[in-house]
Structure 1
């Protein structure tokens, strides 16, 4: 450029300087805009786990503050996860069809408004409806901004950008419980919903100016029949699982819910097999390793995610700890996600993905078994150490799963594979929460039946109250025991539940190691570093 400047006639010097200055500003301005788009994605990535873990810490408090049934209390967590998981693929299709920026802005604006509205919920039923709306808004915001981000970064830059977003998600998980506990301690339970609202609002304001609009010119629109049947099937299934422990598996509401889930599931399969551009390409499930990856996607649900809900309920509602203290304790469980997923990616240079994922799940299984031996009392090493082991174990496959989802399918089907994988992961978390809660209630009822054989309905009501962390309500329903006795019963059942989860995690670890040997080479894994 200096030689060109010197060779040019003097009257051209000013023009050349202006051109260089303009190009430099455009380059630096483009880099700044991309950084702001990345920041918008990170804000949404932090807001999503906050929207999930915040209410989990507050569930015992919500049960005492708002009127409603135990089933409505269980839906506080399940409504969000179910709506978020079932709408992810549909939200991605909407973003491709109508515009990524438009869907992102609509989702982040709705997430801000609904999260703020949750703070003013008059009862649990209203809170459940708003939690479902919050899940839909989160799916729109997340799918829109991630699709927009993919248009801004390519090659190694994309790897780094998505890695930063994944780390942001880990930050939300790690600091969600402690921030929510602190907010509850200072301002009360209603304040926790404003955390997600502020982050979503900031993402909306920032994204309005920096995110560029883009569409897929070949998009075929949303598969409405597939989206509606899939979401409805999940809703019926979750409701049936939650209602069954109290009503009985042969009760009419349970039979109707489960039959409806089966029927709608069959409708979904028929719709997707006949659609020209299906939302879910079922032929991918003919690939054995792809099926194994879906099993891996579901593994964190019962080896880690359920603890994000169950453990705060136990520590706050049963053991009587403060929400702030529980938030600090949960750091031992979530903290490893801040660092270890990135380290696991580096370890793939020397170790296979199958070995890392299998080892991680086996460590989580050992941690669950160890945690089941904690008998309550002070939150010392007997509680912190197994939580840390579970967090370390789940962090190893966390950063590799997205890459494995892509490495086991043909390259041209990578987009569909990612959509299926994320839906399996998030929807699986909602189903796992429902099943674990149902199992906990089912294990508690026989213990209370022996205390009140003449009043089985009271035993069922007490079991649901205790599973929701309402120790006083359970004691009042039984009217024949003491809080200490109920705490001992809960501890024994909780230990048995963790043993079951540990066994499932161990079996999954073995299956994953065998099924995925040779899959997910380093070259493939570098395509995705998003934990």
Structure 2
């Protein structure tokens, strides 16, 4: 259902697109900006390695775990309403972050900021899906992908410059400005719409999923400090498994599930979800790990570190739009599979350069990774919306975005833990029983504290251990990305299964399951 008190004009649609693009650009700015500013934030606010890890993971956790709920709320109570409410919350807590006095409050505000981001993103993308159809919708989503790329490309260098000039709190002011522009344009030009068949939020599903993701993230982040055999870690990981099982059971019994599990019967839908998760370990984790390496470990200043990241994220400025144009000649499965394969090549290439390499030598492999991930980036959102009925665009956006963002949060936690373990294993006997503590500090870019734990080791030995661990991690990411490229190509390329067929069969299956439960 739409509010047709004012019809959408071509100019009005463009303003809606621009509003969503501003919101989309703000999300990566707050993500990459915190990564670039983490060493400065650590110096100002202090905090343990796990508290510093939560500075990035708290945002990703709440963002990823509430996206499906936000999508369901948008379908039920109005996409414009959720979009504007989310922007307001996002801007409010972004302002609060600039005045945080200690790392605990910073982490809490990051979590609250993520909730607002989820509402803004789900509501905005669902609203956009109502304004454009067919090829125009695919192009619109490609432009949003490019806007996200602008935030990723210029976020590190802009954040580095603002930190150098005004201090780390300044990185949140640009985010607030973009959110304000999106809020004003959205209030004026976005038309209210909702799903007339929506039945409200699946609260049991939302709470069980959020609790499961929280337990998993907490357990993975705590493991490097306490050990994988620590009772708390075991309890949290076991709780995550049980809560995910409970979430699955809940979604199978409700009439209008937040996550329609019947869709996972279809390879093309599964392929889209794998595609959503792929950038997490092929690209996004590098947005956090590389600034920490460049600034905290290799000693670059924030501006130089941000400049290096342009090679990685710069291709997202134009290639997502180009990918949309390439669909005239190539199937999406071919474009997406080839892009992930290119990213795998770049990851392996980057693994050949140890810590201390000449910075210019890293540009080509970073550019290769960025080019590869940009090709599927521009198609992912459009593909996600295409596999469900238009009326449930909020659910489609929520499922896809949850897979992507929750995957990024979990991947970041897992990759951080793996890098810590690999670094610890490569420090040698000289580190003694302090190897784990040293590795945790190196992973967060705190070279000075790491050296202080075992002064006899020397900085060169610490850098060598970290470098070997980083290279081993990149080999692992290469293998996972290459495998994903093959699976995505095969699943998305399945013939005889149109988006309409998937949507219709999924709806019929859901109705049949509901009737079976009633009898």
TM-score by length of 1: 0.88
Alignment match of 2:81 (pick from 102, 125, 132): 102
Judge conservation of contact 1:64–1:470 (CA < 8 Å) in 2.
Answer: no
State the match for 1:476 in structure 2. Answer: 452
Tell me, yes or no, if structure 1 residue 230 matches structure 2 residue 209. Answer: yes
Structure 1: segments with no counterpart, 5+ residues: 1-25, 525-531
Question: Mapping of 1:123-134 within 5 angstroms?
Answer: 123-134=102-113
What secondary structure, in the 3-state scheme, does the structure 2 residue paired with 1:120 have?
A: coil
State the match for 2:407 in structure 1. Answer: 428
State the match for 1:251 in structure 2. Answer: 230
CA RMSD between the two structures: 2.4
Quote the offset at 1:503 in angstroms. Answer: 1.2
Once the two structures are overlaid, the 10-residue window that deviates more, 65-74 or 210-219, is 210-219
Alignment match of 2:466 (pick from 477, 490, 494): 490
State the alpha-carbon separation in 2 of the partners of residues 470 and 415 from structure 1.
42
State the alpha-carbon separation in 2 of the partners of residues 500 and 520 from structure 1.
35
State the alpha-carbon separation in 2 of the partners of residues 407 and 460 from structure 1.
46
Judge conservation of contact 1:403–1:520 (CA < 8 Å) in 2.
Answer: no
**Matched residue count:** 495
State the alpha-carbon separation in 1 of the partners of residues 157 and 36 from structure 2.
9
Tell me, yes or no, if structure 1 residue 295 matches structure 2 residue 271. Answer: no
State the match for 1:7 in structure 2. Answer: none
Judge conservation of contact 1:44–1:142 (CA < 8 Å) in 2.
Answer: yes
State the alpha-carbon separation in 2 of the partners of residues 263 and 449 from structure 1.
38
* Residue 411 to residue 197, structure 1, CA distance change in 2 (3 Å): closer
State the alpha-carbon separation in 2 of the partners of residues 400 and 88 from structure 1.
19
Judge conservation of contact 2:350–2:366 (CA < 8 Å) in 1.
Answer: yes
* CA deviation string 1:217-256 (max 9, x = no partner): 2220000110111011001001111111221111011011
Quote the offset at 1:379 in angstroms. Answer: 4.7
* Residue 359 to residue 30, structure 1, CA distance change in 2 (3 Å): closer
* CA deviation string 1:292-316 (max 9, x = no partner): 3322221111010000000000000
Quote the offset at 1:143 in angstroms. Answer: 1.6
State the alpha-carbon separation in 2 of the partners of residues 155 and 447 from structure 1.
53
Quote the offset at 1:205 in angstroms. Answer: 2.8
Judge conservation of contact 2:336–2:488 (CA < 8 Å) in 1.
Answer: yes
Once the two structures are overlaid, the 10-residue window that deviates more, 310-319 or 514-523, is 514-523
Tell me, yes or no, if structure 1 residue 35 matches structure 2 residue 14. Answer: yes
Larger radius of gyration: 1
Alignment match of 1:505 (pick from 473, 481, 486): 481
* Residue 516 to residue 108, structure 1, CA distance change in 2 (3 Å): closer
State the match for 1:15 in structure 2. Answer: none
Judge conservation of contact 1:153–1:161 (CA < 8 Å) in 2.
Answer: yes
Quote the offset at 1:415 in angstroms. Answer: 6.0
State the match for 1:206 in structure 2. Answer: 185
Question: Mapping of 1:157-196 within 5 angstroms?
Answer: 157-196=136-175
TM-score by length of 2: 0.90
Tell me, yes or no, if structure 1 residue 459 matches structure 2 residue 430. Answer: no
Alignment match of 1:59 (pick from 34, 38, 48): 38
State the alpha-carbon separation in 1 of the partners of residues 84 and 131 from structure 2.
17
* Residue 417 to residue 519, structure 1, CA distance change in 2 (3 Å): farther
Once the two structures are overlaid, the 10-residue window that deviates more, 428-437 or 242-251, is 242-251
Quote the offset at 1:31 in angstroms. Answer: 4.3
Structure 2: segments with no counterpart, 5+ residues: 1-5, 501-519
Alignment match of 2:314 (pick from 302, 326, 335): 335
Tell me, yes or no, if structure 1 residue 69 matches structure 2 residue 45. Answer: no
Question: Mapping of 1:303-382 within 5 angstroms?
Answer: 303-377=282-356, 379-382=358-361
* Residue 514 to residue 114, structure 1, CA distance change in 2 (3 Å): same
